[in-house]
Amino acid sequence: MSAAQATVAARPRRRRSEISERRLAAYLVSPSLIVIALVAAYPIGYAIWLSLNQYSVIHPGLSRWVGLDNYRDALTSADFWSAVKTTFIFTAISVTLELVLGLIMALLMHSAFRGRAVLRAVVLVPWAVLTVGVAMMWKTIFDPDLGFINQVFQALHLPGAHTVWLGQSGWAMAAMIFADVWKTAPFMALLLLAGLQVIPDDVYEAAKVDGATAWQRFVSITLPLLRPAILVALIFRTLDALRIFDLPYVLTQGANGTTTLSLYAYQQLTANRLIGPGSALAVLTFIIVMAVSFLYIRLVGGNIRALADEK
Amino acid sequence: MNRKLASAGAILACAAVAAGCGSSGGGSTGGSTVAGVGNNAKTVTPDMAKNAKGNVTWCIGKDTTGAFAQVVKLYNAQGQAHVKLLELPTSADQQRSQLEQREQAKSPECDVLGMDVIWTAEFAAQGWLRDVTPAIQARASEFIPSTVNTAKINGKDWAIPFNTNAGFLYYNTSKVHQAPTTWQQAFQVAKSSGGLGIQGARYEGLTVNFLEMLYSNGGSVLSSDGKKATIDSPQAQQVLTFLQQGVKNGAIPKSASTWMEEESRNAWQSGKVALLRNWPYVYALAKQAHVKFNLEPLPKWQGGSSASVLGGYNLGISTYSKNPGGALSFINFATGPAAQKKFFIKSSLPAVLTQTYNDPAVKKAQPFAPQLLTAVQQGKPRPVSPVYTQISEAIYKNVYSALWNGESPSTALKNAQNQITKALQTF
């Protein structure tokens, strides 16, 4: 909004000096900067400040500066590293699966057939459901006695009909990934579909005329031209997955190797009232997510620009 | 008793590290010791409630049955102070953080605080509660003593019990013909009749299930002076080994690793398990579902005594309240015979007064009242400590590992012991 105002307002002042125009620009963007500072910078700064202090739940109003102690405690605790491991395993597997499934769904939705509009709408339903709702639903589905999965296994006389899915280390993580993929693959598909739709048809027609097979067209045309969309979708999903909280919170309460970083920080901060150490964990999570997004932008950001320039 | 020690100014000197303060062991019949609680607290005396006037706000979790509002209306009709009900969210965690935010801001908004029994110590330690010892003493004979102990720290009372709760053993009479009287018997019966339903998920409920057996076997979590962890004991070792074996030999079904109250109730009601440890709320639901069942207070450990862990809520008076007299007047009404009867019948909130359980109308509406009274009388509070949530987490995390992830009981208890020791040092 402010950018639009700036262009409109700046026009009649073109003759004035450069500096006043800059100052005007600064004035015009300042409201948004103040809003950003209030909603983003202040809480982040406050969390960092809290993480350098130790607050007591035993003695009222007592706090003391402990420097980096909380960080040292976190970085030397086994719980923290197991949470990091859990978070990264979850992110890597779920995002990969979502990308593959999302791509297949996008290609299906892109091709012309009857009922395509209906399919597009239907496919998006899981994504529209609240994550907590999804988690509750999967918790019921994975219930060992009354759950849908074990009922189906039983009806088909398959082994494993009495598996306690959420009560075992490997399966609990698998169930969590399954639920996440089910929910967010459609979102991936939506982003990729948008990418597919901007690829001009004449490129494909030219390739067909040259005798390229469907596979060749996919590998040499679709994939390279879809790359910006894939990268954007990957960034979105990776950053989301790194912050995963609702699924383990509802499904397992973090049992059986499903305590993710966000859940761990929440437990320390909210349930245990360890304000200092909990804030340190939150800041560490923030740093990890930031680092990963910087990495993406470095590796990928230039790529996107280069691709955009090519076009 | 260390009441004098705790209230002496000397305690301030070692307040920095709670666990480091030396004092001779408790020996008091009830209540807990927490360094620092009670210094400079304001006291509420019974005569402050006489001729109560002005406005009082009662902050408590959502009034799901409308009984809270009814009692407020009855009180207001008496023409003393005027009470307003402020409903907090349904979730206990949310209620706690809402109250904490107000108290941290020294807000006078909530005069009467509705607190889960397990937060009472933290609220007292933070200096948010007024000392209500004289008010409790004036009515001491009315209350079931165990309920008062959930809010007793350093020999002083920090809140007045409002409702209580205790565990029961439910059994399906078509499969189990006689109630087992010991846990050992219960596991034997369970093995041959489809299992015992417990709350085995990694949460507060597992702590409660474990503590019931531990207490019954004479074990403890904290030393009587509240300063040392005592969970790594032979008694705890016995209980944890026993539970672990129960899982191995099928007395406790594997699926219990994901069960909270409702999941275990469903499994029992649908006939998957024959026995169930659960709260009184199951009674009405099982009746509706036409289950043939009976219930008894929890079994005891062989050679031990029966012990349930108490649930429920206490009512405290905020330090920042502008009308403590009015607040006490209302609390006395809400914890009085007429209101307690109403809450018990209408909302199934078990009463804290002994006499309520003998009331014919109550017995008619809640036929299990006599057993519940026994269970509550034998009930023990969970560790009364400002760091209770950390203590509980240390218990349920490690008990969970021992039960479901094959951790050895000795390692699990050692870990729990270390984590509780660390929690007690929380500065």
* Nearest chain B CA: its distance from A237 CA (Å): 29
B36 vs A57: CB contact, 8 Å cut-off? no
Cβ distance of A57 and B125 shorter than 8 Å: yes
* Distance between CA atoms of residues B409 and B246, nearest Å: 13
Among A residues 207-266, those touching chain B with beta carbons less than 8 Å apart: 252-256
- B16 to chain A, closest Cα gap in Å: 8
Does the pLDDT of residue A188 top 80, yes or no? Answer: yes
Q: What are phi and psi of A140, to 5 degrees?
A: -65, -40
Q: In B, which residues are within 8 Å of A167 by CB distance?
A: 254-255, 257-258, 404
Strand ranges inside chain A, DSSP E: 53-55, 63-65
- Residue A32 CA to residue A52 CA, distance in Å, equals 29
Cα angle A64, A66, A71 (rounded to 5 degrees) comes to 135
**Nearest-CA residue of chain B relative to A162?**
B255
Give the alpha-carbon dihedral of A253, A254, A260, A262, to 10 degrees: 30
Q: B386 and A145: CB-CB below 8 Å?
A: no
- 8 A C-beta contact, residue B52 and residue B325: yes
Min distance A165 CA to chain B CA atoms (Å): 9
Q: Is B265 on the interface with A (CB under 8 A)?
A: no
Burial class (CB in 10 A: 0-12, 13-18, 19+), B81: buried
Look-up: residue for tokens 């990776």? A238
- Ranges of residues in chain B with a pLDDT under 50 are 1-29
Q: Which residue did the predictor score with more confidence, A15 or A66?
A: A66
Is some CB atom of chain B closer than 8 A to the CB atom of A143? yes
- Measured in angstroms, the CA of B258 and the nearest CA of chain A are apart by 6
Contact A269, A193 (CB under 8 A): no
What average pLDDT score do residues A92-96 get?
A: 97
Q: Which two tokens stand for residue B307?
A: 């012990």
What are A135-167's pLDDT values in tens digits?
999 999 998 888 899 999 989 988 888 888 998
pLDDT band at A302 (very low <50, low <70, confident <90, very high): low
Q: Which of A60, A144, A272 sits opposite B390 (nearest CB)?
A: A272
Confidence class for position A305, pLDDT limits 50, 70, 90 = low
| A contacts of B126 (beta carbons < 8 Å) | 57, 60
More confident residue, B260 or A17: B260
Phi, psi values for residue A46, rounded to 5°: -65, -40
Give the CA distances from residue B292 to residues A102, A153, B270, B287, B365, in Å, rounded to whole numbers and listed in that order: 51, 30, 11, 8, 18
Using the Cβ of B127 and the Cβ atoms of chain A, whether some distance falls under 8 Å is answered with yes
- Any chain A CB within 8 A of the CB of B13? no
Specify the pLDDT at position B419. Answer: 95
- Does A154 contact chain B (CB < 8 Å)? no
Could you tell me how far CA B329 lies from the centroid of its own chain? Answer: 24
What's residue B25's pLDDT?
31
Section A66-91 average pLDDT? 94
Question: Chain B residue with minimal CA distance to A274?
Answer: B426
Contact across the interface for A54 and B270, Cβ inside 8 Å: no
Residue A53, classed as helix, strand or coil, is strand
Q: Report the alpha-carbon distance of residue A271 to residue B271 in Å, rounded.
A: 35
pLDDT of residue A147: 87
Q: Under a CB-based contact definition with an 8 Å cutoff, are residues B276 and B265 in contact?
A: yes
Q: What is the 3-state secondary structure (H, E, C) of chain B?
A: CCHHHHHCCHHHHCCCCHHHCCCCCCCCCCCECCCCCCCCCCECCHHHHCCCCCEEEEEEECCCCCHHHHHHHHHHHCCCCEEEEEEECCCHHHHHHHHHHHHHCCCCCCCEEEEECCCHHHHHHCCCECECHHHHHHCCCCECHHHHHCCEECCEECCEEEEEECCEEEEECCCCCCCCCEHHHHHHHHHHHCCEECCCCCCHHHHHHHHHHHHHCCCCCECCCCCCECCCCHHHHHHHHHHHHHHHCCCCCHHHHHCCHHHHHHHHHCCCCCEEEECCCHHHHHHHCCCCEEEEECCECCCCCCCCECEEEEEEEECCCCCHHHHHHHHHHHCCHHHHHHHHHHHCCCCCECHHHHCHHHHHHCCCHHHHHHHHHCCECCCCCCCHHHHHHHHHHHHHHHHHCCCCHHHHHHHHHHHHHHHHCCC
Nearest-by-Cβ selection for B258 from A57, A166, A272: A166
Residue A55, SS3 per DSSP: strand
Closest Cα in chain B to A166: B258
**CA-based max dimension of chain B:** 63
Closest C-alpha to B343, from B119, B69, B151? B69
Residue A5: pLDDT over 90: no
Chain-chain contact of A58 with B34 (C-beta, under 8 angstroms): yes
pLDDT value at position A303? Answer: 60
Per-residue pLDDT, averaged over A270-278, amounts to: 87
Provide mean pLDDT across the span A181-198.
92
Closest-CA distance, A255 to chain B, in angstroms, reads 6
Check CB contact under 8 Å for A58 and B201. Answer: no
Task: Give the model's pLDDT for residue B32.
Answer: 77
Taking CB atoms and an 8 Å limit, are B386 and A271 in contact across chains? no
The answer to which of A108-112, A246-250, B240-244, B368-372 has the lowest mean pLDDT is: A108-112
Query: Which residue matches tokens 């003493």?
Result: B137
| A15 close to B (CB below 8 A) | no
- pLDDT range class, residue A304, cuts 50, 70, 90: low
Any residues with CB less than 8 A from the CB of A104 and at least 6 apart, and which? none
At B379-416, the pLDDT tens digits run 999 999 989 999 999 999 999 999 999 999 999 999 99
Average pLDDT for A245-274: 91
Judge whether A197 and A152 are in contact, CB under 8 Å.
Answer: no
3-state DSSP assignment of residue A160:
coil
- A62, A253, A272 ranked by CB distance to B201: nearest: A253
Contact B339, B71 (CB under 8 A): yes
Q: Given this model, what pLDDT does residue B30 score?
A: 62
Least CB–CB distance from B201: residue in A169, A255, A270: A255
Question: Which of A2-6, A155-159, A282-286, B302-306 has the largest mean confidence?
Answer: A282-286
pLDDT at B427: 63
Q: According to the model, what pLDDT value does residue B331 have? A: 97
pLDDT for res B41:
83
Mean pLDDT (whole number) for A169-179: 94
Contacts for A250 with CB less than 8 Å, ≥ 6 apart: A132, A135, A136, A139
User: Do residues B34 and B388 touch, judged by C-beta distance below 8 A?
Assistant: no
Cβ contact B312:B383 at 8 Å: no
Q: Specify the pLDDT at position A286.
A: 93
B276 beta partners: B170, B197
Determine the 3-state secondary structure of A120 from DSSP.
Answer: helix
The CA-based angle A193-A194-A195, given to 5 degrees, is 90
- Nearest-neighbour CA in chain B from A130: distance (Å): 19
What percent of chain A has a predicted confidence (pLDDT) above 90? 50
3-state secondary structure of A64: strand
Compute the distance between CA of residue B298 and CA of residue A8 in angstroms, rounded to an integer: 77
Predicted ipTM > 0.90: no
Residue A278 has pLDDT above 60, yes or no: yes
DSSP A214-262: HHHHIIIIIHHHHHHHHHHHHHHHHHHHHT--HHHHHHTTTTTTT--HH
Decide: A63 and A279 in contact? Cβ < 8 Å: no
B23 versus A214: which is more confidently predicted? A214
Q: Do A64 and B201 touch (CB under 8 A)?
A: no
- Which residues of A are less than 8 Å from B258 in CB distance? 143-144, 164, 166-167, 252
Decide if A164 and B386 are in contact by the 8 Å CB cutoff: no
CA dist list (Å): B223 to B1, B27, B384, B385: 14, 10, 11, 12
Query: Higher confidence at residue A203 or residue B231?
Result: B231
Q: How many CB pairs under 8 A join A and B?
A: 87
Question: Using the beta-carbon criterion (under 8 Å), do B258 and A162 form an inter-chain contact?
Answer: no
Q: What's residue B22's pLDDT?
A: 31
Contacting residues of A for B125, CB less than 8 Å apart: 57-60
Mutate which of A50, A54, A55, A57 to disrupt the B interface (most B C-beta within 10 Å)?
Answer: A57
User: Pick from B203, B267, B270: which is nearest to A253 by CB?
Assistant: B203
